[in-house]
Amino acid sequence: MSSKSQTGFTLVEIVVVVVILSIFAGMMSLSVGSSEARKNRAFYEHLTDSLSYVRLLSAERMQPMGLSLQADKRGQVTPVIVTLSNPYAAYQAASVSADSNDSTPKNAMELSAELSTMSGGSDEALPTPSWETETEVTLPELPSGVHIRVQSLAAVEVSSAQQAQTLQPWFVGQMVPQVVWFGTGQATPVTIEVLHEARLVGDVITIMPDGSMMIGQGQ
């Protein structure tokens, strides 16, 4: 009698292999998702720490600083910390040639607001304040699929004096950062959201008019 050897896989064996492959696929997907979430969270925490530092640095220097969302060569919008350069130069130059009875110390916000009146009586070209990238504070590259949304708190009332100051050329227009700390302890009131594919990463960041930063929705 001749015996025939059985070849191929049974249905049970095929099902077992499919189940094992499904488990491995799920584990890989979970691992990739977890790694992505960690990167997004790390960026969020780095951003909040940097904004807190910028607030303190602006007040210490008495110099306007801000968070600017700028497009790179590829068209991707990235966050950058910027500083208003030359806020004092024109005031100092004018003070040397003009007599002034006002000896009250002034901060960068107030000095830069006076440049429009000082530059008219001088034949020498005075430095104009401009927003420059701050080399002392750098932000990490945006993770894939992550973007930042900044919304103004229109309901917050701003004093007329502050409105007059922010109407200077270097505080309006597309080159001005979306968030500004004026060096006076005040800031433009906004909310900042870090989003990954329309989902919020971390809590909403709120910059209050007094420059303080609040994490979360509570007031």
Q: Which structural domains are found in the chain, ordered by start?
A: 12-87+132-215 (3.55.40.10)
| Sheet with 65-71: strands ordered across | 130-133, 77-85, 65-71, 179-181
* pTM of the full structure: 0.66
Q: What pLDDT score does 126 carry?
A: 63
In three-state secondary structure terms, 132 is strand
72 touches 78 (CB < 8 A): yes
90 touches 122 (CB < 8 A): no
Q: What pLDDT score does 165 carry?
A: 47
pLDDT digits (tens, 9 = 90+) for 80-138: 999 998 776 555 554 544 444 555 555 555 545 554 454 444 445 667 788 999 988 88
Q: What pLDDT score does 81 carry?
A: 94
How far separated are the first and last CA of the chain, in Å rounded? 90
Q: What pLDDT score does 128 carry?
A: 78
Q: What pLDDT score does 14 carry?
A: 72
d(C-alpha 20, C-alpha 165), whole Å:
67
Q: Which two tokens stand for residue 189?
A: 């009131």
Q: What pLDDT score does 24 carry?
A: 64
170 touches 128 (CB < 8 A): yes
Give me the count of residues in the chain.
219
Give the closest residue to 33 by CA, choosing from 202, 204, 196.
Answer: 196
> Could you say which residues of the chain have pLDDT below 50?
30, 94, 96-100, 111, 115-116, 118-123, 156-166, 218-219
